[in-house]
Chains A and B, each alone.
Chain A
Amino acid sequence: MARLIRTEKEVEGRFEEVWLVVEEDALDQWPEGPREVVGRDALRKDARERILGQARYTADVQLPGMLHAAILRSPLAHARVERIDLSAAAAMPGVHAVLGPGDVRGLEQEAGFNGAPIAAVAADTFAHAQRAARAIEIEWEELEVVLDPEEAVRRELLTTEPATYQRGELERGLAEADVVVEGTYRTSVVLHNSMETHQAVCQWIGDMLEVYISTQYVWGVRSAVADAFGLPGDKVRVICEYMGGGFGSKNDPGEYTLVAAELSRRTGRPVRCALTRREENTAAGNRNATIQKLIVGAKSDGTICALGGEFINAVGWSGWSAGTDGPMQMLYACDNVRTVRYGAKINTPPMKAFRAPGFVEGTFGLECLIDELAAKLGVDPLELRRKNYASSNDDKPFSSKNLMACYDLAQEQWDRRHEVRARSTGTWKHGVGMASQIWYGGGGPPSYAWIRIGSDGRAQVVTAMQDIGTGTRTAMAQIAAEELGFPLDRVEVSLGDSSRGPYATLSAGSSTVPSVGPAVRAAAADAKRQLIEIAAQRYHLEERVIGIENGSVVSADGNLNTPVEKLVEVLEDAQILGKGARGPNPTGMSVLTFGIHVVEVAVDVETGEVRVDRVYAAHDVGRIINTMGARSQVEGGIIQGIGHTLSEQRLHDPDTGRILTTTLDAYRMPTAADVPEIVCAFVDKPDEHLTNLGSKGLGEPPIVPIAAAIGNAIRDATGADVHELPISREEMLRALEAATKKERRGAPAAV
């Protein structure tokens, strides 16, 4: 039964109150433990077509008569277009149309960063378009360039009001403390660099606009594009069945989609607008740099009694200020906490959500700080975490929290650190470090799914969701198969088309499984009910004694056992249609995910080389749907995290603000040779308060604690405190030298 409710919706740490129509979620969760299909390894449903290169990505869409667009971007970090002359460009060979500032949303008069989109050209080939874009004549009025986030904060150049948080009294807590540790931690700008760049192909067909786009949010793009062009939503069809990575950067249409749509409208031809890799490294979004000034106070028995922090997010020209302060507020049971968080508005390309925005950066600062506290107290770092375990989030209970179980799983790994250290030889020092993980991942309404079963006894899940590589397609098939009682190979999933299927939430913020999953289960339950009704009629039994197991209709007394195809063959063209919706989240509870990483590193103390040898990752994300897919997510998140920990950094020219690391030889992501041994464990306990599945998302948790765990392992191995990401050779050598100086002055040894 549908009802209208007001509920809190969280995505990537940002909360909003929304009005939603929801169906009552009446299904009981499955009991804990692996089921027939759910909670087991499932081969990825779309693996083969991706591996074979048959999957059609937006980059592969080639429509007859398609034109190519190139965007002219500002070379300057802050300037206004005083005069622009498009005529030379328009006259160039192959050019069909040219757009200037204001001709479409996204092309602006004022450029607030190097790479800001100003104008665009559609031409027969991309080379023609690029050449023409270069022929656009612009006179710039150069404006003041602010690049230093601390200066921006001083001058109150902010993207948003500062966010303050307080519980208890920080000063009192510090006064009570026996030990106080302070430190400043910095993280650098890191780029998503999905393998498929941001791009869209737009085509008008009558008064309908068709948008092929590499996106994480088919419905969101539909709404945004419809809004930009003054169209009703159903006149925009957004298609994305396969996309080459997003990690948070592809949650909106960006300027390139609107540019392609407008150029298509003007030329009457399909238009592709695809970012080059250099544009991708410049203006496609980033995880912003942070500066964190942190303080922690504790009693000598290890009770943390004070936590404080000033957090500066170097947001850029626009964007939002992510929850870098979140871990400090939520991870530990400390009575006195005060944080203030600034979003610095500077002339650098705007941030975009990147896999646990804010919490990756904040966990690095906090978990390194806590480890430094442990060292000063002479307390085991894992013991210190156990001692300060938070049983609630302020006054809000957790819907489920099994972080202690994660600690227990990791204890054996942690206990081996003496063995690991003993491997030190010559200039190579070995050490072990840990870090806790906290993040969101509960998803929320709305999301909907339909299930269609035909006379062949096969089920098709239909919903306009995305599979951005996380394996959500397979997870949905598993959920449907489990609820229906079908084998997995009789269930297919149709996704990625806003004209085919109901609304599904964006694939970001670890939302898809916890948001769309319950809707799929509800739809499957609806379809199963109808199958059982049909069986009751056909076989003259009561509905309550009928079940479906492994694709067969069975009766409780065992007399009936017939394949589903046999049951439904009478349908012919008739179909069973089930529908389901995601219900609301539990009210008054914090829905969060938890985990721990224990990392073994080796450091060459003479050359500063850091080698991550092994990562043990234990995560609590409620019920795991696909154990194989889950492991891949953990490995992937850890490897991506090793990138921002050791080698990834976007650099700009300090004078002009121009981006310097625009190519993948300069912006260095991990290769196959940079991968440690990774061992995953899951608590895999359903969150009993959360939906009919008890599942949370896993896309982000694995990337959250890895940098801190590596930093702490380095400290364990060498006594060196790294306070900056990436831990480049330069930073490692600096920290080693500082440690040597500290050692000569007699500092406490590792515990």
Chain B
Amino acid sequence: MTRTRPITALLCALLLNSCGSNDRSDSGAERVSYNCAANAVEIKSLQAEIPAFADSTGVEISLQPFSGQEKLYAMIAAGQPPDIFYTNNVLRDKLAAEGRLLDLRSLSAADPFTDRLWPDVYRQGLSADGGLYSIGNWSFTAGVYYNKELFDKAGIPYPDTSWTWNDLLGAARRIAARTNASGEPEHYGIFIPSHFIEVFELMNGAPVGDQSLFLNFSESSLEIYQQYLALMNDRLMPDLRRIQAMGMQASQLLQSGKVAMLVEAVPHQVLFETLTIPWGVSPIPRFGNRPVRCFRSESGGLSISSQTANPEAAWKALKWIIAGASIYQPNPVLRDADFVAGWEARYPVLSGSGFREVWQRSLNHPAGDPRMFVRFSSWTSATILERLQPMLDKLWARETTIESLVAAQPEINRAARAELTRLIQRGRLDQKFVEAIEEQLRKASP
């Protein structure tokens, strides 16, 4: 018993020490907290550079590397939000409408930094009320990754920028022609994860609804659904459900030689680091004579809390994270960054892989859609997806038809309308947002 006493005392002392207040001595620097969704490699790199940034600017960034939506909400509800945090488009609009985010327009207007951003990055941060509530911190496009060996074996030339959807189908068909004893193709032609269908819809001319509050299946979208189902019915693509639900499946699928082509994000670090097969990547093919549409997308950006004590310091820190921290350089959201060269230096395998061509195409995108992955405006997306997603699941399982999907559209939109009405009636939203929503409601007459 007596022998454990010193240990207990030591434990207590350590405990008191580490539970004590966080009032670390300050050198008069302004402190900005950054709640970052970053992995250990990024954190380590950021931590190494923060002191130098503090020395040159007087802004000390304290990292909060543990993030989650519940956590962020708890912090905001308790009145202690981080100064800078990541928001996706949905979260951003919701928080902005409740007055929780700083409108960055006044800070960005006078700042040459803003000129360094691609216009779409800037545009995407704009919200329903015209305010700027986030700055995109990363962006990507999509491409068709292909297994060179399988193309060589089938005697097909590699895909390139001239390819159309029909070229892709033809190649897929030839690769999947050889079947095994049970009638399954030895190699499937292609795999397109379902959340990439939108890219093809856009290529096929589907309208880009920037702030669309309601579900509206266009002819060109339905055509793509048909094509997508045909891919599975014709055994050019493996059954969607067999492949889903695994964080690492995309890479595995291509690596295994089970599919010859895979549609995925570009850049895609997992693919770059783990593929050991010879591979290349080419742009998403266009449809017949339809014009090529280019896209780059962000899943979101960095926002500043409206409660921040020092907006200037937070803005400096935000700019540094995007354009200064070496782990994120060259950052594709910056016009003056040579993204391709930087990544080719990081991953030699990218040289001559087609990465340069894919990325080049994504840069010519004044008419492109930067919101590739955000289908509906934040206000109704949950309401619509909650109803639409199970139907789409059923459609891909071929348990329902495209017709019944279309037939459900009015019902789903009624629910969206009810949700909007509820939001307005609740009467907590900023007036600017209420007006923006009301206008949308008027535009989409029932």
Partners in one complex: no
